[in-house]
Amino acid sequence: MKKEIAVLEGDGIGPEIVAESVKVIGAIEKKYHHEFNLTYAPFGASAYFQCGSPFPDETKAICDRADVIIKGPVGLAVEEMNRIPAEHRPEIGAILPLRKRYDTFANFRPVRLPKSLAFFSPLRPEIIGDGIDILMIRELVGGIYFGEKTEGPSTDMAFSRDDCMYDDALVRRVAKVAFDEARRLGTQMTNVHKANVLATSRFWTAVVEDVARDYPDVPYASVLVDNAAYQLVKNPRQYNGVMLLENMMGDILTDQAGGVIGSLGLMPSACVGPEKSYVEPAHGSAPDIAGKNIANPYSMVGSIALMFDRCLGLTDEGRDIWTALFSLYEDGFVTQDLAGFGQRGARVLSCSDFGDLIVERILAD
């Protein structure tokens, strides 16, 4: 296979964890005789300081030409972020426009912790039981994040307002993705909502339940979002399978899920659109540890596995990466974020040494 890949390194630890992912792409290229042509482009807060925009036109053109996009986390330390005008901050000025541009409506955020790695979790091993394996699917281009934002005209009329809107098409397409996935995996599909209060959630759930009629073979459940937050900590395994969440609920509960399995460094993601997709870790750019070569590359490298599997249809390649990642943990290799979690004889590696071992294992088997 021959593909064009745009590489947006981002800020903070972005360039370090992206560098490890690029090594992994090289290993897959070599092992499977693919040809990937990588084009780097500025994106995020550092792009704003370099080019005056967090998502420069040149980057848009490179992404338009690419088959798939790899994106590192973005954002700098508070003092630097304060020097960026609100509309050019990377969240509003880069990430949301990237999602909109390619209509990447289905955000896959797998939450995986096998039984053997239960000690990574702050929860007791008996709660992790046989392991957590939840695929959270977050709607990514609708809802309150993309609704109109209004701010009060003056201080004596101070108010602000964010509109939340979902229409039938927006809900239906992501619900289909979630049910298809649950059918493929042979699991249940759990819909998360707040239909006891929100009109958008009542509507969301009605559409999801209409779609459910086409999937009588897929066990369906629904849960209020506040209860889901509670249950995720008390008994996360009950959600093994697929969970479908609208944009903001998905943002919040996927971070919580990172906490449940022990680190946001264990949260990769793929943002899939009708024509183009991009991959990114679900976490931020950790400016406090940037440049120290201690970041955990798992979420970025796992995102590359998702890229192969979900975006390019290269299942074996994706599986090789997962196997290498989990085998390293099984053998006691960790980066600093997962050190000292009660694993006996853990060997703490730098970001780049961890990446080298992933490559070694991909090529060895």
180 is catalytic: no
Q: How far apart are the first and last CA of the chain?
A: 21
320 is catalytic: no
Q: Which is nearer to ligand IPM, 261 or 282 (CB)?
A: 282
> H-type helices in the chain, by residue range?
14-32, 45-51, 57-65, 78-81, 90, 96-101, 125-128, 168-185, 199-212, 225-234, 247-261, 298-306, 315-330, 351-364
Residue 11 Cβ vs ligand IPM, minimum distance, rounded to whole Å: 11
Residue 95 Cβ vs ligand IPM, minimum distance, rounded to whole Å: 5
Under the binding rule (CB under 6 A), the answer on residue 91 touching ligand IPM is: yes
Cβ pair 192, 157 in contact under 8 A: no
Q: Which residue has the tokens 């508070």?
A: 78
Residue 308 Cβ vs Mn ion, minimum distance, rounded to whole Å: 24
DSSP 8-state symbol, 283: S
Under the binding rule (CB under 6 A), the answer on residue 251 touching ligand IPM is: yes
145 is catalytic: yes
Number of residue whose CB is nearest Mn ion: 251
Please calculate the CA angle 131-136-141 and round it to the nearest 5 degrees. Answer: 165
329 is catalytic: no
Residue 251 Cβ vs Mn ion, minimum distance, rounded to whole Å: 4
Q: Which is nearer to ligand IPM, 207 or 267 (CB)?
A: 267
Reported for 203-210, long-range contacts at CB under 8 A and 24+ positions apart, including other chains, are 203/166, 203/171, 204/166, 204/171, 204/246, 207/168, 207/171, 207/172, 207/175, 208/171, 208/175, 208/244, 210/172
Under the binding rule (CB under 5 A), the answer on residue 11 touching Mn ion is: no
Nearest-angstrom CA–CA distance, 113 and 131: 6
Under the binding rule (CB under 6 A), the answer on residue 282 touching ligand IPM is: yes
Question: Which of Mn ion, ligand IPM, none does 290 bind, CB closer than 5 to 8 A by kind?
Answer: none
Q: Which is nearer to ligand IPM, 95 or 328 (CB)?
A: 95
Residue 21 Cβ vs ligand IPM, minimum distance, rounded to whole Å: 17
Of 16, 139, 251, 317, the residue at the interface with Mn ion (CB under 5 A) is 251
Cβ pair 363, 350 in contact under 8 A: no
Of 8, 24, 62, 95, the residue at the interface with ligand IPM (CB under 6 A) is 95
Binding site for ligand IPM (CB under 6 A): 91, 95, 251, 282
Which residues are known catalytic residues? 145, 194, 226, 251, 255
